[in-house]
């Protein structure tokens, strides 16, 4: 009897590995790597992949926080517009002669305000986050257009090039992304706060009865996403050297796509940071592979749209099988 | 008398008063805003949004949302435009059939994904928004359909008119609004859309085929987006893979939400949507006159959506408070 239980346990854990959506993401990642290296022999150059990753690092970092928001049962489509608006505010403030620290603080504060506005509308006024964040998406992007107009605002020469700074041979944005993933992964996976996020997302009413302050948790997540997005916006300003209102236009697709490909359940309660982490790399490999294969940006858009649909069908399928 | 009283106490009256107040305020500041010419400008701004808003209203009432409308508009317009370019001798009204048909197929695809896999429509249509836009580039080879390729009869539909000097496309959009009114008021299908939106669990118990109704709603949304697509070609005389229909869904959602259609499904009227579209048109027509640059337009749409959501919520709260009081 006693030696049966561990073996049973062992068998079950093997099976559950197949039921985990991260396994799907990981398999796809390997497949994409193999496929891309067949396309071009130069592809499997680690430095090339790392450099390509810096192009979407901002969206990937914000997508990590978005994953937590989705797990808690809400969604935020305004994060990409937030990146654009805080970058525009940051660039505008420093272009008007303010010191760099003040400009960065203003940018971060703008992110805090945007996150709080989302949170207030969703939690205090109890409006559905889907529609609210579509509204704020248009609003933030529109404000960015008001501030920057049709021109681009330049940032000073010495501030440009966060993506070329290396830490032990790895570009700085990749380091930030990995560090954020580790911290958030630990918070979500090992702390009480993290478990509470899952509980809130699985069943909000039950969580309330269990004494979890679900509103406070959701509020915190929206604000966190707001601040992180604005930090990403400032990073994007440093990478690009100038800021336009259409920065990260359509980025909400890629961010939701990363979360979905990583196996986050759209109805909340399931998902991991590891999944989104892997999915971010998968997307980089796929889009770099498409660029190497000389596909038009429009076709890449089509592929991303298709991937989103396939990813959400696959995760839903895996979860419905796991429940049985 | 009763319908008039009902109108005065309803949401629609509020929007109507807002339209009057807004136009009076702008009229005092810039007197030439109140003229038949600016009425014409307003009316020419709205036909596409009007048609889109009627479709989006049905989708929202059924407790879904369709974000892919702008891309469906662009794709259908492009298919029709390519047909005009490559087959110049074709009878021009065929373009309407082609665009509406193409849109219906795209809408069917959305609907199938939503119903078969039981996926949230917001994510599905966020995906197809990009998918259809990418396909538009692919089928057009990323090239624009120029003015010369659009039949002059089609372009004339935005200029000439059968009666009262009102151009064809405006009359068509009003006809669509009337048809939608008939659909939701007097047909079984229309009532079923409200039923599945108000309570998706109770609807199948009453013998409503939720899958079928949802599919039809998405097909209507696609077909009307296609109609808006061919009207875009008529109105602007070109079809561009990147511009045509870009951001259309946001204008439409703004108009519908202003019109008092509830985002929680089951609530919304054609009259409210109609007035919401007109209010949006008045704002859009007044902005350049007031010297406000076009770059602020998107910020204004966004804030209008948020304000409308807040108003909608306070109205709903008061309504539930009233029922509670009358029950007690």
Nearest residue to A56 via CA among A285, A222, A225: A285
Nearest residue to B78 via CA among B99, B57, B55: B99
What percentage of chain A carries pLDDT values higher than 90? 31
User: Strand (E) positions, A188-308?
Assistant: 242-243
* CA atoms of A304 and A283, how far apart (whole Å): 9
For residue A116, the tally of other CB atoms under 10 A from its CB is 15
- Which pLDDT tens digit goes with each residue over B233-249? 888 888 888 888 888 88
Report CB contact under 8 Å: B296, A141. no
The model's confidence at residue B163, banded by pLDDT at 50, 70 and 90, is: confident
Alpha-carbon separation of residue B250 from A142, B28, B104, B217, B257 (angstroms): 12, 30, 20, 19, 10
Report CB contact under 8 Å: A142, B301. yes
* CA atoms of B289 and B195, how far apart (whole Å): 44
- Which pLDDT tens digit goes with each residue over A205-224? 888 888 888 899 999 999 99
Report CB contact under 8 Å: A298, B142. yes
Report CB contact under 8 Å: B119, A145. no
Query: Taking residues A269-295, what's their average pLDDT?
Result: 85
* CA atoms of B303 and B300, how far apart (whole Å): 5
For residue B90, the tally of other CB atoms under 10 A from its CB is 13
Nearest residue to B92 via CA among B148, B151, B140, B24: B151
Q: Which of residues 118-157 of A touch B (CB under 8 A)?
A: 121, 125-128, 130-132, 134-143, 145-146, 149-150
Nearest residue to B241 via CA among A285, A296, A119, A70: A296
* Per-domain residue ranges of chain B: 62-267+274-287
Nearest residue to A61 via CA among A187, A169, A176: A176
Nearest residue to A74 via CA among A204, A213, A165, A253: A204
CA atoms within 13 A on the CB side of A43: 20
Q: Which of residues 240-259 of B touch A (CB under 8 A)?
A: 241, 250, 253-254, 257
The model's confidence at residue A2, banded by pLDDT at 50, 70 and 90, is: very low
Buried/exposed code over A17-54 (b: 16+ C-beta within 10 A; e: otherwise): eeebbbbbbbebbeebbeebeeeeeebeeeeebbebbb
Q: pLDDT: is B45 or B64 the higher one?
A: B64
Report CB contact under 8 Å: B295, A145. yes
Q: Which segment of B16-25, B71-80, B103-112, B306-315 scores lowest on mean pLDDT?
A: B306-315
* CA atoms of A289 and A195, how far apart (whole Å): 37
| Whole-number pLDDT of residue A104 | 92
For residue A101, the tally of other CB atoms under 10 A from its CB is 9
CB-nearest to B298 from A126, A138, A303 is A138
| Whole-number pLDDT of residue A4 | 44
* CA atoms of A178 and A160, how far apart (whole Å): 22
Please tell me if residue A302 touches chain B, with a CB cutoff of 8 Å: yes
Q: Which residue of A has its CA nearest to B132?
A: A302
- Which pLDDT tens digit goes with each residue over A49-108? 888 888 889 999 999 999 999 999 899 999 999 999 999 999 999 888 888 889 999 999
| Whole-number pLDDT of residue B325 | 57
Buried/exposed code over B184-211 (b: 16+ C-beta within 10 A; e: otherwise): beeeeebebbbbbbbebeebeeeebebb
* CA atoms of B193 and B178, how far apart (whole Å): 17
Please tell me if residue B301 touches chain A, with a CB cutoff of 8 Å: yes
Please tell me if residue A23 touches chain B, with a CB cutoff of 8 Å: no
Nearest residue to B53 via CA among B220, B288, B235: B220
Q: Answer for the pair A233, A86: CB distance below 8 angstroms, yes or no.
A: yes
CB-nearest to B134 from A75, A126, A305 is A305
Q: Which residues of B fall within a CB distance of 8 Å from A139?
A: 299, 301-303, 305-306
Report CB contact under 8 Å: A301, B313. no
Task: Write out the two tokens for B18.
Answer: 């807002």
Report CB contact under 8 Å: A305, B118. no
Q: Which residues of A fall within a CB distance of 8 Å from B67?
A: 134
Q: Which residue of B has its CA nearest to A142?
A: B299
Three-state SS for B239? Answer: strand
* CA atoms of A62 and A80, how far apart (whole Å): 8
Residue B90, pLDDT > 60, answer yes
Greatest pairwise CA separation for chain B in angstroms: 71
> Beta strand pairing status for A170-171 and A242-243?
unpaired
Q: Answer for the pair A233, A110: CB distance below 8 angstroms, yes or no.
A: no
Task: Write out the two tokens for A265.
Answer: 């359940």
Buried/exposed code over B1-32 (b: 16+ C-beta within 10 A; e: otherwise): eeeeeeeeebbbebbbeebeeebeebeeeeee
* CA atoms of A127 and A110, how far apart (whole Å): 22
| H-run or E-run covering B306 | helix B297-327
Report CB contact under 8 Å: B263, A146. no
* CA atoms of B275 and B260, how far apart (whole Å): 10
- Which pLDDT tens digit goes with each residue over A293-323? 777 777 888 888 888 888 888 888 877 776 5
CA quadruple B301, B302, B303, B309: dihedral sign:
positive
For residue A247, the tally of other CB atoms under 10 A from its CB is 26
- Which pLDDT tens digit goes with each residue over B47-71? 899 999 999 999 999 989 899 999 9
Query: Taking residues B251-255, what's their average pLDDT?
Result: 87
* Per-domain residue ranges of chain A: 59-252+263-272
- The CA R_g of chain A, rounded to the nearest whole Å, is 20
Q: For residue A312, give every residue at least 6 positions away whose Cβ sits within 8 Å of its Cβ, in sequence order, or none.
A: A260, A266, B117, B119, B123, B124, B127
Size of interface A-B (CB pairs under 8 A): 144
Q: Which segment of A131-140, B10-19, B126-135 scores lowest on mean pLDDT?
A: B10-19
Q: Answer for the pair B112, B215: CB distance below 8 angstroms, yes or no.
A: yes
Report CB contact under 8 Å: B263, A128. yes
Q: How far is B275 from chain A (nearest CA, A)?
A: 20
Q: What is the DSSP string of B34-45?
A: SSHHHHHHHHHH
Chain A interface, best mutation among B75, B263, B299, by max A CB count within 10 A: B299
* CA atoms of B280 and B301, how far apart (whole Å): 8
Chain A interface, best mutation among B128, B306, B320, by max A CB count within 10 A: B306
Q: For residue B14, give every residue at least 6 positions away whose Cβ sits within 8 Å of its Cβ, in sequence order, or none.
A: none
* CA atoms of A17 and B123, how far apart (whole Å): 27
Residue the block writes with tokens 């997302």: A201
What ipTM was predicted for this assembly? Answer: 0.79
> Beta strand pairing status for A166-167 and A170-171?
antiparallel
| Whole-number pLDDT of residue B141 | 82
CB-nearest to B305 from A126, A135, A306 is A135
């Amino acid at each position: 009897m006693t030696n049966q239980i561990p073996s049973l346990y062992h068998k079950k854990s093997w099976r559950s590995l197949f039921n985990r959506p991260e396994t799907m993401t990981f398999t796809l990642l390997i497949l994409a790597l193999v496929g891309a290296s067949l396309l071009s022999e130069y592809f499997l150059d680690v430095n090339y992949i790392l450099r390509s990753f810096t192009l979407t690092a901002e969206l990937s970092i914000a997508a990590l926080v978005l994953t937590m928001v989705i797990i808690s049962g809400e969604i935020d489509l305004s994060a990409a517009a937030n990146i654009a608006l805080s970058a525009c505010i940051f660039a505008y403030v420093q272009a008007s002669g303010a010191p760099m620290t003040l400009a960065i603080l203003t940018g971060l504060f703008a992110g805090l305000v945007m996150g709080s506005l989302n949170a207030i509308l969703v939690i205090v006024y109890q409006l559905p986050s889907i529609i609210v964040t579509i509204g704020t998406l248009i609003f933030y992007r529109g404000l960015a257009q008001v501030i920057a107009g049709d021109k681009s605002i330049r940032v000073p020469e010495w501030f440009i090039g966060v993506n070329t700074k290396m830490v032990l041979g790895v570009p700085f944005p990749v380091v930030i992304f990995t560090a954020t993933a580790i911290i958030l992964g630990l918070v979500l996976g090992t702390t009480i706060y993290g478990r509470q996020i899952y509980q809130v997302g699985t069943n909000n009413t039950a969580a309330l009865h269990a004494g979890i302050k679900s509103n406070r948790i959701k509020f915190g997540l929206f604000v966190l996403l707001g601040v992180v997005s604005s930090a990403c916006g400032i990073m994007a300003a440093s990478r690009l050297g100038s800021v336009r209102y259409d920065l990260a236009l359509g980025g909400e697709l890629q961010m939701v796509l990363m979360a979905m490909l990583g196996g986050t359940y759209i109805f909340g309660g399931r998902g991991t940071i590891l999944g989104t982490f892997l999915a971010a790399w998968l997307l980089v490999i796929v889009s770099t592979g498409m660029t190497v294969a000389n596909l038009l940006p429009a076709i890449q858009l089509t592929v991303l749209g298709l991937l989103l649909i396939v990813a959400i069908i696959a995760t839903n399928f895996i979860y419905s099988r796991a429940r049985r | 008398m009763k319908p008039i009283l009902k109108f005065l106490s309803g949401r629609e009256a509020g929007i109507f008063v807002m339209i009057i107040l807004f136009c009076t305020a702008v009229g005092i500041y810039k007197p030439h805003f109140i003229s038949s010419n600016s009425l014409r400008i307003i009316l020419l701004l709205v036909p596409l949004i009007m048609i889109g808003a009627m479709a989006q209203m049905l989708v929202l009432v059924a407790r879904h949302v369709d974000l892919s409308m702008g891309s469906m508009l662009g794709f259908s317009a492009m298919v029709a435009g390519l047909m005009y370019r490559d087959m110049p001798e074709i009878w021009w009204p065929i373009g309407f059939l082609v665009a509406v048909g193409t849109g219906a197929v795209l809408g069917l695809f959305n609907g199938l994904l939503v119903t078969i896999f039981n996926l949230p429509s917001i994510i599905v249509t966020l995906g197809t928004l990009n998918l259809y836009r990418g396909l538009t580039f692919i089928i057009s080879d990323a090239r624009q359909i120029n003015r010369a390729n659009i039949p002059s009869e089609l372009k004339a539909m935005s200029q000439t008119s059968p009666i009262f000097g009102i151009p064809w496309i405006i009359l068509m959009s009003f006809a669509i609004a009337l048809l939608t009114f008939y659909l939701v008021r007097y047909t079984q299908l229309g009532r079923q859309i409200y039923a599945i939106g108000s309570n998706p669990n109770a609807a199948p118990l009453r013998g409503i085929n939720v899958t079928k109704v949802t599919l039809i709603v998405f097909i209507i949304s696609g077909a009307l987006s296609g109609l808006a697509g061919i009207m875009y070609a008529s109105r602007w005389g070109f079809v561009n893979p990147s511009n045509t229909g870009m951001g259309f869904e946001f204008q439409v959602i703004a108009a519908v939400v202003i019109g008092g259609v509830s985002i929680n499904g089951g609530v919304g009227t054609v009259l409210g949507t109609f007035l919401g579209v007109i209010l949006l048109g008045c704002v859009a027509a007044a902005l350049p006159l007031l010297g406000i640059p076009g770059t602020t337009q998107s910020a204004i749409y966004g804030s209008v959506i948020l304000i409308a959501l807040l108003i909608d919520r306070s109205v709903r709260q008061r309504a539930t408070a009233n029922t509670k009081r009358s029950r007690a």
